[in-house]
Amino acid sequence: MAQQDGNSETEFDLIARLFAPLSDSPHGLNLTDDVGLVPDTDGRSCITSDMIVAGVHFLADDPADQIAQKLVRVNISDLAAKGAQPVGCLLSAAFNQQRDISWLEAFANGLAEDMSAFGLVLIGGDTVRTPGPDTFSLTAIGRLGEGGMVTRAGAMAGDGLYVTGTIGDAGLGLRILRGELGAVALGTRTRLEGRYRLPQPRADFGRKLSGFASASLDVSDGLIADAGHLADASGLAARIDFDRVPLSSSATRVVKKDRSLHLSLLGAGDDYEILFAAPADAAEAIAEASGDTETPVTRIGDLAPGKAGEVSVVDGQGMALDVPKMGYRHF
Amino acid sequence: MAQQDGNSETEFDLIARLFAPLSDSPHGLNLTDDVGLVPDTDGRSCITSDMIVAGVHFLADDPADQIAQKLVRVNISDLAAKGAQPVGCLLSAAFNQQRDISWLEAFANGLAEDMSAFGLVLIGGDTVRTPGPDTFSLTAIGRLGEGGMVTRAGAMAGDGLYVTGTIGDAGLGLRILRGELGAVALGTRTRLEGRYRLPQPRADFGRKLSGFASASLDVSDGLIADAGHLADASGLAARIDFDRVPLSSSATRVVKKDRSLHLSLLGAGDDYEILFAAPADAAEAIAEASGDTETPVTRIGDLAPGKAGEVSVVDGQGMALDVPKMGYRHF
């Protein structure tokens, strides 16, 4: 962050003023150096990066603070789904050259809010200007529990497949924002758009995962795609009971008359729930973690021998369903 | 890296094929997961990120492999100047949507070459497409020696100011590439352009820094700007003897008839040499490190009480010189 490529001294000062307070720690060194220190985690650090581009992963006229928060949260979600607790992050930000001071301030405020909420400290990064769309990359460092990292690859045949929260809200929110869904009641619209704009990563539940999950990842590409990733890495096939996939009451209202729309939610991205596999004897531990963290958890299917990575969706009678693509994969 | 936003399955496969081999380690997990493991460094990890944008920090038609190598090297340079040895990195890459497979392959090849040369392993990242200029952020993790991190802030009044290698080659190379310098002999042009396109970070010398340096950073913004950063963080003023600033024979040839051009080299960026402060009794250790790593080191001035961050450049008679800006600061 200390190196402000291509910026005038004034802008250097501005950015220092905005971001240095987020880095007030022995690790961030107030961004006064080119390099920060990784918080000590007894050799159990893990790390992830996510990159988002205006017009691709968020809408250019989304509120700046929510863009920053989404950036933090997609990374928190990755860490949570691996059983890690976030400790520090680095921000690489290419701000479009038209973004003015108030926009940068709002961005920094959103960042500050979520870093505080999720217990992160800023330990470095880089800030540049771009003639193109705003492009941000956040690198987040997590501390793993004693059980180590929950990978995608540990599921066994017979394990149940579970998901936190509800599926499809973010995808519906995006379609509403794009005007693709016709009239939707105001309260419903607000809730669904909010889930698209501002994910709620399952940080608390994630910390408990290593106690019972055999494999896990967050639902970012869509339920079916991500179930496929987990199954593929574990060398198994996945079966999802369509009727068990949990929907919010808002989503239920929107899809109730449209079976095809309902089915499409399984292909929609951006939910940032946790999808995990666990053996039968883990049921009690799952219920306890769910209760302790007030996180709804639903068993939606299971893992079985079969073609690695294949995902089938079946109805209440066990008949295979054909799930249409959402149209836009991971906007 | 595992999450391939907005890409078709084919492109996902392609990128997996290109980048997964760089991640063949217990830490990178072959990029099969959303999160990688930080190599154990006995609690002495440091970390840095640098971001580069086509048309801002490199030329869009620079060779793809050299762009990747420059990205790696600017980060290696940051770590080296802090006394750290690189161990792992994460790549966030937004490739312009027009870049074809052969371009991506060349980029991956350049990355592979330098990661091997500098002993880095890829432990994660993210790959997306952008309608805008290619934008890359690399996060590099380093292992600090027992002496800990050499910051910008430790210089004391009376310390000498030293620089590795030569100053100004990259700035001249960029001006030649832009056609701003008139006729330059082919061999000279090739050498200077090469220093702009492909920095040679002082990785070996950097590892020795904590043995003698009181403060250090790499020269990326320009000698005067970076001397100012070091002096400012240390609460001192810096004085640079103009006649001692080391020039390559190529640079000497180009500037010999142009005093103003010669002076401007002190404001040119992208040299990626190490600028450091050290006390008088460190001379022997510096000479030894210089010899062991075959790295030229020159004492170019000193630190003194005064206005923090002020940099004066003086000639052989001690007269202050006025150094013009290079025109383009850190293209």
CATH number at B301 reads 3.90.650.10
Indicate which CATH number applies to the domain containing B134. Answer: 3.30.1330.10
H/E element, A9? helix A9-19
Rg (CA), chain A: 21
In order of A147, A189, A237, B259, B271, the CA distances from B248 in angstroms are 55, 65, 62, 16, 12
Say whether both A117 and A15 belong to one domain: yes
Cβ atoms < 10 Å from Cβ of A34: 30
Rounded to whole angstroms, the Cα distance separating A160 from A146 reads: 23
Q: Is B140 exposed, middle or buried (0-12, 13-18, 19+ CB in 10 A)?
A: buried
Q: What is the pLDDT of residue B324?
A: 65
Q: What is the pLDDT of residue A100?
A: 92
Residue A273 burial (CB count, 10 A): 31
User: Do A62 and A173 sit in the same domain of this protein?
Assistant: no
pLDDT at A14: 73
- C-beta separation of B115 from B195 below 8 A: no
Distance CA A331, CA B109 (A): 29
Domain span at A98: 9-144
State the CB neighbour count (10 A cutoff) for residue A35. 28
How many residues appear in chain B?
331
Dihedral sign, Cα of residue B152, residue B73, residue B139, residue A125: positive
Find out whether B78 is annotated in a ligand binding site: yes
pLDDT value, residue B14: 73
- Based on the domain organization, do A185 and A306 belong to the same domain? yes
Look at residue B327 in the predicted model and tell me its pLDDT. 37
Q: Tell whether the model's pLDDT for residue A218 goes beyond 70.
A: yes
Q: Is A296 found in the same domain as A171?
A: yes
Evaluate whether A218 touches A195 at the Cβ level (below 8 Å). Answer: no
Tell me, yes or no, whether B184 and B90 share the same domain: no
Least CB–CB distance from B131: residue in A45, A49, A133: A133
Are B166 and B309 contained in the same domain? yes
Residue A138 main-chain phi, psi, to 5 deg: -115, 135
Q: Nearest to residue B271, comparing CAs of B122, B32, B134, B77? A: B77
Specify burial of residue B183 (Cβ count, 10 A radius: 0-12, 13-18, 19+): exposed
Residues of chain A found within 8 Å of residue B152, distances taken between Cβ atoms: 32-33
Report the gap between the CA of A145 and the closest CA in chain B (Å): 13
- Quote the CA–CA distance of A308 and A238 in Å, as a whole number: 9
Dihedral pair phi/psi, residue B2, rounded to 5°: -65, -25
Q: Is residue B4 part of a domain?
A: no
The count of other CB atoms within 10 Å of the CB of residue B309 is: 17
Place of tokens 């394990």: A159
Same domain, A47 and A96: yes
User: Is B243 labelled a binding residue?
Assistant: no
The answer to whether A102 touches A159, Cβ cutoff 8 Å, is no
For residue B126, say whether it is annotated as part of any ligand binding site: yes
pLDDT digits (tens, 9 = 90+) for A32-61: 778 888 877 777 889 999 999 999 988 899
Q: Which chain A positions have a beta carbon within 8 Å of B81's beta carbon?
A: 34
Contacts 24+ apart (CB under 8 A), B100-107: B101/B14, B103/B64, B104/B14, B104/B15, B104/B18, B104/B64, B105/B18, B106/B63, B106/B64, B106/B65, B107/B64, B107/B65, B107/B67, B107/B68
Q: Is the residue at A325 inside a domain?
A: no
The verdict on residue A331 lying in a domain is: no
Report DSSP state, residue B214: S
- Which chain B residue is nearest to residue A53, measuring alpha carbons? B130
Indicate the residue of A38, A82, A149 with minimum beta-carbon distance to B45.
A38
Among A110, A144, A178, residue at a domain's last position: A144
ipTM, 2 dp? 0.86
Res. A79: pLDDT tops 50: yes
Residue type at position B176:
I
Distances (CA, A) of A97 to B15, B44, B49: 30, 37, 21
What is the pLDDT, as a whole number, of residue A324?
A: 65
Q: B329 in a domain, yes or no?
A: no
Same domain, B173 and B241: yes
Count of residues making up chain A: 331
SS3 state of residue A144: strand
Return mean pLDDT, chain A. 89
**A285 within a domain of the structure (yes/no):** yes
Is B125 known to sit in a ligand binding site? yes
pLDDT band at A6 (very low <50, low <70, confident <90, very high): very low
pLDDT per residue of chain B (331 residues) written in tens, 0 to 9: 434 444 445 566 777 788 888 877 777 776 777 888 887 777 788 999 999 999 998 889 999 999 999 999 999 999 999 999 999 999 999 999 999 989 999 999 999 999 999 998 899 889 999 999 999 999 999 998 888 899 999 999 999 999 999 999 999 999 999 899 888 899 999 999 999 989 999 999 999 999 999 999 999 989 999 999 999 999 999 999 999 999 999 999 999 878 899 999 999 889 999 999 999 999 999 999 999 999 999 999 999 999 999 999 999 998 999 876 543 343 3
Whether A273 maps to a domain, the answer reads yes
Terminal-to-terminal C-alpha distance of chain A: 28
- Name the residue of chain A whose CA is nearest to B269's CA: A5
- Domain membership of residue A322 (yes or no) is no
Mean pLDDT (chain B) is 89
Same domain, B140 and B196: no
Closest of A245, A142, A125, A261 to residue A201, by C-alpha: A142
Query: Within 13 Å of residue A257, how many CA atoms lie on the same side as its CB?
Result: 3
Question: In this structure, which amino acid lies at residue B137?
Answer: S
3-class SS at B46?
A: strand
User: Which of B51, B78, B224 to mutate: most A Cβ within 10 Å?
Assistant: B51
Residue B221 annotated as part of some ligand binding site? yes
- Confidence bin at A271 (pLDDT 50/70/90): very high
**Do both A173 and A289 map to the same domain?**
yes
Chain A interface mutation, best of B9, B48, B270, highest count of A Cβ atoms under 10 Å: B48
CA distance A300 to A67: 31
| Interface contacts (A, B; CB < 8 Å) | 215
* Domain assignment present for A2: no
The pLDDT value given to residue B20: 82
> Do the chains contact at B35 and A132, CB–CB below 8 Å?
no
B210 interaction partners in chain A (CB closer than 8 Å): none
Q: A220–B3: do the CB atoms touch at under 8 Å?
A: yes
| Residue B50 assigned as binding residue | yes
Rounded to the nearest angstrom, the minimum Cα separation between A84 and chain B is: 10
> Percent of chain A at pLDDT above 90?
73
How far is Cα A295 from Cα A275, in angstroms, rounded to an integer?
Answer: 13
Q: Do B49 and A124 touch (CB under 8 A)?
A: yes
Question: What's residue A327's pLDDT?
Answer: 37
A197, A295: one domain:
yes
Which residues have CB under 8 Å from A80's CB, separation 6+? A201, A202, A203, A205, A206, A207, A209, A218, A274
For position B7, what pLDDT does the model report?
44
Q: Report the pLDDT value the prediction gives residue B45, as an integer from 0 to 100.
A: 87
CB nearest B126 (choices: A50, A149, A229) = A50
Average pLDDT rounded to a whole number, residues A282-303:
97
The reply to whether B13 and B133 lie within a common domain is yes
Output B328 or A109, whichever has higher pLDDT. Answer: A109
- Half-sphere exposure at residue B231, Cβ-oriented, CA atoms within 13 angstroms: 28
Rounded to a whole number of angstroms, the distance from the CA of B76 to the nearest CA of chain A is: 11
| CA neighbours closer than 13 Å in the CB half-sphere of residue B44 | 16
Residue A308's SS3 state is coil
Number of domains observed in the structure of chain B: 2
Distance (Å, whole) CA B273 – CA B200: 8
Which of A11, A35, A44, A85 is the mutation pick for testing B, counting most B CBs within 10 A?
Answer: A35
